[in-house]
Structure 1
Amino acid sequence: MTNLHDGWRLRAVGGPVPADLADLEVPARVPGSTHLDLMAADLIPDPYADRNEAELTWMHRVDWQCSTTFRAEPARAGERVELVFDGIDTVATVELNGEVLGHTANMHRGYRFDVGGSLRDGDNDLTVTLWSALTHAEKAETELGWRQRAYPHPYNAIRKMACSFGWDWGPDLQTAGLWKPVRLERWDTARLAEVRPLVTVDADGTGRVDVHLALDRAADRDYTVLVTVGDRTEALAVTGDTAHVTALVPDARLWWPVGYGDQPLYDLTVTLLADGRQVDAVRRRIGFRTVTVDTAPDEFGTPFVFVVNGKRVFAKGANWIPDDHFLTRVTRERLVRRVDQAVEANMNMLRIWGGGIYETDDFYDVCDERGVMVWQDFPFACAFYAEEEPLRGEVEAEARENVVRLVSHPSLVLWNGNNENLPAYTDWEGWQDNLQGRTWGAGYYHDLIPEIIEELDPTRPYAPGSPFSPGDLPPNDADHGTRHDWDVWNAVDYTHYRDHIPRFSAEFGFQGPPTWTTLTRWVHDEPLTPTSPAFLLHQKAEDGNGKLDRGLAPHLPVPTDFEQWHWATQLNQARAVAFGVEHYRSWWPRTAGALVWQLNDCWPVTSWAAIDSDERPKPLYYALKHAFAPRLLTVQPREGRPTLVAVNDHDQPWTGVVSVTRQDFAGEVLAAAELGFDVPPRSAALLELADHLLEPAEPRSEVLIAAAEGVRTHHLFLEDLDLRYDPAPFTADVTSVTGGYRVDVRATSYVRDLGLLVDKVAADAVVDDMLISLTAGESHHFLVRTSQELHEPSALLHPDVLRCANTAVSGVSPATP
């Protein structure tokens, strides 16, 4: 095998090319993209900065040519030589030495060309012409018929990452390039064309690996396949082009989701022998576990509960989008950082959303190692899709390839047919009427894809879409299956999360801007305001700022100062989403999952993400860390009365005494009680609160606090707007420690949601926690990690850095010491 990643050149060959680029040829990186190559040559500005995205729309219509020359020897007698592209973005013509090898039109699959008759001795010229994806999609739409979609470009007429054409959080860049490895493979006799291990666990604990193989033969030989799992090897003589070998591992150690057990992984090696000589080998890592989804009807409707190794799991997590719009910049190290952040926020599941991609092998490897369950959408999102050729054939090819590619990963726990296309058909106004009888994708979700899953991966559950309810029920029915809740954010206040008790909330969220340093790195408006031009270009949601302000108004003042507005909207985002999470978790096991929209960003933008595109956690991230904690106390309404709910996501019971006090903001205890509790493993329990705890004499300046074994919750009787917060409720000082700084805060009055916006002081700084509430007399210390030695550590105490809800309400900052 020879990687063909060197010596590539890029030039424009058609479309509205600017005059200064018309005859230029620049070095090209493979894997890569045209945008990155032009940026590296200083020919275009970074599209993430300011309004540059809008200035680069000419690239949507340009055709490009990537070319390289490589040395090779011609094929020997009986030798096969194949040119392999693991991924081309997207519409391309591939030529070798002037001979057209083939055409591509699908970003989500690979291509293999036989070049044994085309290869020359010495220099060989390889050219890939990348045609405008937009032009191709428009032509395909004309031929297949127009179909409704959520955004202007016909992303539903081409098998390309949908969000490449823009989304309500992403740029419209329409990338092009050789986005995965390219190589020359030479082989004789035979190769392993497909290795598909199906991993299950027998009732007696024996691990079973059923390895299904497909061989590509170049010669008739006596072939043997060896399958090795750990220290056990099975051998099978192969007489045809396919084979099935079963390997058993007695007393297999089970793979568990994070928080439920360990993640042991076994090495699987499949070796192909011809006349006793090794001619090919494939290696995978597998984990032994069983996974089902419980959908047996109950007294409330239809549940949707993940069951791993027989244990019911509450799915705590988030939706995942591509971590950079320029996919080739997403390294394994970056994925490690991102998944580790998810785990540190107490998440156990990531849903790969259907407007992106089938993720890289690195992504699933990292999730395997960390016990993060993966819900995998097929790439269909917020649109209707033609079921006729050539689209249908591409859908089938990509589905088959990716199911086989991903089947070995224990982290993968669900295949899902699409994102929001089922409710689009049944519920979205005008969508079904505009179809006028044309196909829209139902045949993919209900027939083609489940048939492929049944054939290639019967070990995992499949859902036709998200949201989904069985039978003739509305897909987004709260009592059945999975639900997306977008009334909050789009139409109603976040307190309306409590209007529904979904069986599984697969999408819900609220917007907030990126961290200050990320925002000001990429947006340079003077002055910077919510309506300044570049800031607005980085707010892709329809009426996004209006929704931010309307969502803020019932809870906190809407500031006129931009920096104050930035903090207030970030805080409101954190509170809104945590409100939903705590509501959902309090209803376990009736509600069995909460997947926040969204974990990450692909560029600097005001969005629903908890972690911005520069990898900095927003206040929302810390709110999720608290709300997803293994043990949670939360005050929730039950039968019209505030009730304390104790949630225990441990395998051990949670027993003890919870101390409940009602006190004023000055710290005087006005009412108190101690409640014994015993919460069984993986369950929630209700604790009734006595009247004297719930009847404040002065609701504007009292707070209810419940605490047990370091876990606690604060319950206020009015919205912040109506509370009499002390505007200067704490004192603070800062101390240098190894690896950074410690900020010690002591409350002199009740202080709510302390946040330390450390990126404003040092770009690489990270704080260990945020959104901490303290009663008068209590203290808390924040640990700040940074590689920088601060000239003035007291900058960490500046009122624009050390923030709280009190000052967001009063508009007055506490004095720094």
Structure 2
Amino acid sequence: MHKKWLFFLLWSIGLTAQVLEKDLSQLSWTVHQWGKNEKLKATVPGTVHTDLLANQRIPDPFLQSNEKEVQWIENEDWVYETEFVLTHAELQKEHIELLFEGLDTYASVFLNGQSLLDADNMFRTWHVDIKPFAKAQNHLKIQFKSAVQRTNALAQKLPYQLPDDNRVFARKAPYQFGWDWGPRLVTCGIWKPVKLQLWDDVRIQHVFHEQKNITQEQAEVIVHVALEASKETTVTLLVNHQKRKVQVQPGTTVVDFPITIENPKLWWCNGLGIPHLYSIPIALEQKRKVRDSRELKIGIRTIELVQEPDAQGKSFYFKLNGQPVFMKGSNVIPPDSFVPRTTTIQWEALVENARLSNQNMLRVWGGGVYADDAFYAACDEKGILVWQDFMFACAMYPGDEPFLQSVEKEVEDQVKRLQNHPSLALWCGNNESDEGWHNWGWQKQYKYTSQDSARIWKDYQQLFHQRIPNTLSRLLPSNENRYWPSSPSIGWGKKESLTQGDSHYWGVWWGLEPFESYDKKVGRFMSEYGFQGMPSLQTLSILSDGEPLALTSKAIRHHQKHRTGFETIENYLQRDYQNPNSFENYVYVSQLLQAYGLQKAIETHRRNRPYCMGSLYWQLNDCWPVTSWSSMDYFGHWKAAQYQVKRSFAPQLIVPKWKDNALEINLINDADTVHEGEVQLRWFSMRGVLLKEKRLNATMSANGVNTIPLEKETDWPKLDGTVVLQINFKAPEMQLNAIYTGVAPKDLQLQKPRISLEKINATTIAIQTDVFAKNVALISSEKVLFSDNYFDLLPGETKYITLDKPLTSSLIVKSLWDTLP
């Protein structure tokens, strides 16, 4: 059946079922360059780049250095068109509205030649009544103006240039203009669904809720149902099986429904309990027929951001249901440079990968896009809290009234979309704009006068300290209005950045400071830090598109967007590792280096609890195949860092530390259960000969850290690269272990291991070695997730590894010894 006729069949079925909304995205769309006649088949939702790619008009921008070949697209205007039919009955509807959930970005919309609206904000939804212009046969046209041309023109209206780029004038995804991990692909298009809504008299406009008193015995919830009506009428509202007749006035009427939930099951984040959700059905009846309906999913919980003065400065931590929680997580960027082609499954997988690696918070970074509904729903279901930036990053912004009003409407649209999610923990104004203004030398770089600087800072304060928080206060209940103007609050070069607020620590990487600096630079909440690692060989092979793999290859160099990226990796690699003996092993060691740095950072943050109460590394994912700070690459392959993150974020953890010429053992516990047990220390030679053993009683306290200082004994084997220390904690309910070498990997006197793999069943293998094996890696040509990987293995032990699916090809196993010259 033709796509268009299938659409109208579904449309008629929907009308009989009282569903008054249909997705026009399913129609046949075309796109063409303004001023040219060739019309190409288009996909909605989509982008002009992906449409041109699908029609074979451009090379794949993700391969080789093709990004350079498609830069012309950003300077052109593009036109999308479709047609749709309305029946006589449909035309009689009192309201016929078009809903655009997302237009990227400067879009003029025409119906049957009549101008409907001029959109200028990618992050807003746009409603327009087409009743006066609708006919049986309708032609819809959307003309997208070049964002680059438009922002350049807007920039000319100011007497100075704003940092960082003219992109700041557009309410458009900043990362499209290029970043130090992403390409410049300034696209346009209908990036979210287009819907047609038909209704008479009254409909549900918006549903939100407040949580009042919450005790073990009951939770008091108020459900607010906003009704939109064109005339005075009487309707029946059903909320959670309560029925009430309501007199509705023209305009918006908000009806409040108090609900009491007996013995509520609380919503908990990953690792602390079940993220229980309640479903509240809502229906609008008129003349005994259901005219509109919603399903509200909520989690019963309380969240507080606690900032209290203390002896060291000022705390910064979250309480969930009254319990202080150490936040373990990462920063998320858009999963693709062309977001519309990201599927629901991919959004959900992003959250699932965080859950599997023991994370409990994701920060939606402010230089990308507000994530898809599927992302937040998955966070609700999997217990992942969300730190939500507004989409402003690394720049200063204009302060004219039209811009501020556009942002205010954007905030309103996003808050209404997201406010019911129990996972949403914090709204944040921007990423690094405050730090950039005070620490990055912009005022000198752009040669601002004192008057210029005063005006730019005033505009900043108006936007982030007045307009956005005032809008939040208008929309959110006071107990849900958690707002933080800028992340970080103070730049990493300032002493105060480590004593209050949140901190982005980039002394490692940008400052070329050694990994050991993580021990000294611990803030109250570490919301950014990280290190680069190369993607998988499979990903490198795809992006290279047949070009031989080498660090000097054009494709590999092009897919490193940091100006000194490979040089920085090399600098750190020389400090801690020996030079790998091949490109393939260089990829492997670069991943080990990244994991090594993240381990030091995460475990330092965790053992400094409660001074430090959060560790969100940069970054979880990529938007294209690239060498970057991500812990899993664009195609979802886990790097060594992701496996290390899983180990370092484990609910219970042993962290050994050599401090003040003595060994210190830290027992970390996120749960609220105390464990009484024994710590066992065993020193082995590289061949597994037991050299020394020591046992002592130990306690793992609830929700905290126990530090066990050990005075060095004269007969302890020296950790000089020939000895491995195994630390076990044994209690009736658990057994933990850690392996500690005490020296950098390059100083280990490794011996060639004979590593054996035994297939136990289709998804389980057993691994053994005859000598100590460092960073044992299981490598497959298929995409597979292992229960652990890139791990250390002692002789005489058997490690069981499970796979998320059976493999059809053989596994390659390697260790650090295989990379030595």
**TM-score relative to the length of structure 1:** 0.91
Indicate conservation of the 8 Å contact 2:229/2:248, yes or no: no
Indicate conservation of the 8 Å contact 2:662/2:711, yes or no: no
Describe the SS at the equivalent of 2:222.
Answer: strand
Describe the SS at the equivalent of 2:699.
Answer: strand
Q: 1:701 to 1:627 in 2, by over 3 A?
A: same
Residue number in structure 2 paired with 1:48 = 62
Residue number in structure 2 paired with 1:455 = 474
Alpha-carbon deviation of 1:107?
A: 0.5
Q: Tell me the alpha carbon deviations over residues 666-718 of structure 1, each in whole angstroms, 9 at most, x when there is no partner.
A: 22333321121112211110012231289544613112221124422222232
Describe the SS at the equivalent of 1:663.
Answer: strand
Indicate conservation of the 8 Å contact 2:274/2:383, yes or no: yes
Q: Distance in 1 between matches of 2:724 and 2:674?
A: 29
Q: 1:784 to 1:256 in 2, by over 3 A?
A: closer
Residue number in structure 1 paired with 2:769 = 747
Describe the SS at the equivalent of 2:142.
Answer: strand
* 1:415 corresponds to which of 400, 403, 427: 427
Residues 1:773 and 2:754 aligned together: no
Residue number in structure 2 paired with 1:814 = none
Q: Distance in 2 between matches of 1:788 and 1:720?
A: 31
Residue number in structure 1 paired with 2:253 = 242
Q: 1:373 to 1:418 in 2, by over 3 A?
A: same
Q: Distance in 2 between matches of 1:520 and 1:807?
A: 21
RMSD after superposition: 2.3
Residues 1:498 and 2:519 aligned together: yes
Residue number in structure 1 paired with 2:563 = 542
Alpha-carbon deviation of 1:639?
A: 5.2
Alpha-carbon deviation of 1:665?
A: 1.6
Residue number in structure 2 paired with 1:365 = 377
Q: Distance in 1 between matches of 2:257 and 2:22?
A: 33
Amino acid at match of 2:223: V
Q: 1:599 to 1:235 in 2, by over 3 A?
A: farther
* Higher alpha-carbon deviation: 604-613 or 657-666: 657-666
Q: Distance in 2 between matches of 1:537 and 1:417?
A: 32
* 1:31 corresponds to which of 45, 49, 53: 45
Q: Distance in 1 between matches of 2:77 and 2:562?
A: 30
Q: Distance in 2 between matches of 1:630 and 1:146?
A: 51
Residues 1:489 and 2:501 aligned together: no
Alpha-carbon deviation of 1:789?
A: 2.5
Alpha-carbon deviation of 1:37?
A: 1.3
Map of 1:71-150 to 2, 5 A cutoff? 71-73=85-87, 79-120=94-135, 122-144=136-158, 146-150=160-164
Alpha-carbon deviation of 1:659?
A: 0.6
Q: Distance in 1 between matches of 2:691 and 2:162?
A: 60
Amino acid at match of 2:762: T
Alpha-carbon deviation of 1:637?
A: 4.8
Indicate conservation of the 8 Å contact 2:654/2:668, yes or no: yes
Q: Distance in 1 between matches of 2:768 and 2:196?
A: 65
Q: Distance in 1 between matches of 2:701 and 2:181?
A: 41
* 1:390 corresponds to which of 393, 402, 405: 402
Map of 1:306-705 to 2, 5 A cutoff? 306-431=318-443, 434=448, 435-439=452-456, 440-457=459-476, 458-460=478-480, 461-468=482-489, 477-491=497-511, 492-524=513-545, 526-559=547-580, 561-638=582-659, 641-692=662-713, 696-697=717-718, 699-705=720-726
* Higher alpha-carbon deviation: 429-438 or 58-67: 429-438
Q: Distance in 1 between matches of 2:692 and 2:321?
A: 46
Q: Distance in 2 between matches of 1:711 and 1:731?
A: 23
Alpha-carbon deviation of 1:40?
A: 1.4
Q: Distance in 2 between matches of 1:493 and 1:400?
A: 44
Q: Tell me the alpha carbon deviations over residues 314-354 of structure 1, each in whole angstroms, 9 at most, x when there is no partner.
A: 11111111111111122221122221111110111111000
Amino acid at match of 1:684: V
* Higher alpha-carbon deviation: 381-390 or 687-696: 687-696
Amino acid at match of 2:55: A
Indicate conservation of the 8 Å contact 1:73/1:119, yes or no: no
Describe the SS at the equivalent of 2:710.
Answer: coil
Q: Distance in 1 between matches of 2:263 and 2:464?
A: 37
Identity %: 31
Indicate conservation of the 8 Å contact 1:144/1:388, yes or no: no
Indicate conservation of the 8 Å contact 2:443/2:453, yes or no: no
Q: Tell me the alpha carbon deviations over residues 612-636 of structure 1, each in whole angstroms, 9 at most, x when there is no partner.
A: 1111111111000100011100113
Amino acid at match of 1:34: V
Residue number in structure 2 paired with 1:17 = none
Count of residues paired in the alignment:
782
Q: 1:694 to 1:271 in 2, by over 3 A?
A: farther
Residue number in structure 2 paired with 1:18 = none
Residues 1:285 and 2:297 aligned together: yes
Residues 1:738 and 2:762 aligned together: yes
Q: Distance in 1 between matches of 2:433 and 2:172?
A: 17
Amino acid at match of 2:455: R
Q: 1:474 to 1:73 in 2, by over 3 A?
A: farther
Alpha-carbon deviation of 1:262?
A: 1.3
Question: Runs of 5+ in structure 2 lacking a partner?
Answer: 1-20
Residue number in structure 2 paired with 1:258 = 270
Q: 1:282 to 1:548 in 2, by over 3 A?
A: same
Q: Distance in 1 between matches of 2:718 and 2:294?
A: 71
Indicate conservation of the 8 Å contact 2:231/2:249, yes or no: no
Indicate conservation of the 8 Å contact 1:53/1:173, yes or no: yes
* Higher alpha-carbon deviation: 388-397 or 260-269: 260-269
Q: 1:524 to 1:77 in 2, by over 3 A?
A: closer
* Higher alpha-carbon deviation: 124-133 or 692-701: 692-701
Amino acid at match of 1:68: T
Amino acid at match of 2:234: D
Describe the SS at the equivalent of 1:778.
Answer: coil
* Higher alpha-carbon deviation: 747-756 or 75-84: 75-84
Alpha-carbon deviation of 1:145?
A: 5.2
Alpha-carbon deviation of 1:276?
A: 6.2
Q: Distance in 1 between matches of 2:772 and 2:424?
A: 45
Alpha-carbon deviation of 1:771?
A: 2.1
Q: Tell me the alpha carbon deviations over residues 501-536 of structure 1, each in whole angstroms, 9 at most, x when there is no partner.
A: 211100111101111111111213643222311111
Q: Tell me the alpha carbon deviations over residues 348-396 of structure 1, each in whole angstroms, 9 at most, x when there is no partner.
A: 1111000111111111111111111111001111111112132111110
Q: Distance in 2 between matches of 1:207 and 1:694?
A: 61
Amino acid at match of 1:481: G
Alpha-carbon deviation of 1:193?
A: 2.4
Amino acid at match of 1:312: P
Q: Tell me the alpha carbon deviations over residues 643-665 of structure 1, each in whole angstroms, 9 at most, x when there is no partner.
A: 11000112211221111122322
Describe the SS at the equivalent of 1:56.
Answer: helix
Q: Tell me the alpha carbon deviations over residues 152-178 of structure 1, each in whole angstroms, 9 at most, x when there is no partner.
A: x42211001111111111111112110
Residue number in structure 2 paired with 1:712 = 737
Q: Distance in 1 between matches of 2:707 and 2:807?
A: 47
Amino acid at match of 1:720: P
Alpha-carbon deviation of 1:539?
A: 0.4
Q: 1:653 to 1:531 in 2, by over 3 A?
A: same
Q: Distance in 2 between matches of 1:232 and 1:346?
A: 40
Indicate conservation of the 8 Å contact 1:223/1:239, yes or no: no
